[in-house]
A and B are shown apart, each in its own frame.
Chain A
Amino acid sequence: DAGVIQSPRHEVTEMGQEVTLRCKPISGHDYLFWYRQTMMRGLELLIYFNNNVPIDDSGMPEDRFSAKMPNASFSTLKIQPSEPRDSAVYFCASSFRGTSQETQYFGPGTRLLVL
Chain B
Amino acid sequence: QKEVEQDPGPLSVPEGAIVSLNCTYSNSAFQYFMWYRQYSRKGPELLMYTYSSGNKEDGRFTAQVDKSSKYISLFIRDSQPSDSATYLCAMSGGSNYKLTFGKGTLLTVNP
Which residues of A are interface residues toward B (Cβ below 8 A)?
Answer: 4, 31, 33, 41-45, 48, 50, 55-56, 91, 93, 95, 100-109
Q: Is the beta-carbon distance between B104 and A102 smaller than 8 angstroms?
A: no
Nearest A residue to B100 by beta-carbon distance? Answer: A45
Interface residues on B, range: 10 to 19
**Dominant secondary structure at the A interface:** strand
Which residues of B are interface residues toward A (Cβ below 8 A)?
Answer: 32, 34, 41-46, 49, 88, 92, 97-104
Q: Is the beta-carbon distance between B43 and A106 smaller than 8 angstroms?
A: yes
Q: Is the beta-carbon distance between A31 and B44 smaller than 8 angstroms?
A: no
Query: Which of A42, A95, A100, A101 makes the CB contact (< 8 A) with B101?
Result: A42
Query: Which of A43, A48, A95, A102 makes the CB contact (< 8 A) with B44?
Result: A43
Q: What CA separation (Å) do A58 and B46 show in the bound complex?
A: 24
Q: What CA separation (Å) do A95 and B97 show in the bound complex?
A: 10
In the A-B complex, the 4 residue pairs with the closest CB atoms:
A106-B43, A42-B103, A43-B101, A102-B32
Task: From A105, A106, A107, name the one whose CB has the most chain B CB atoms within 10 angstroms.
Answer: A106
Q: What CA separation (Å) do A91 and B103 show in the bound complex?
A: 15
A-B contact pairs, 8 of them (CB 8 A): A43-B103, A55-B97, A102-B32, A102-B34, A102-B92, A104-B46, A105-B45, A105-B46
Nearest B residue to A104 by beta-carbon distance? Answer: B99
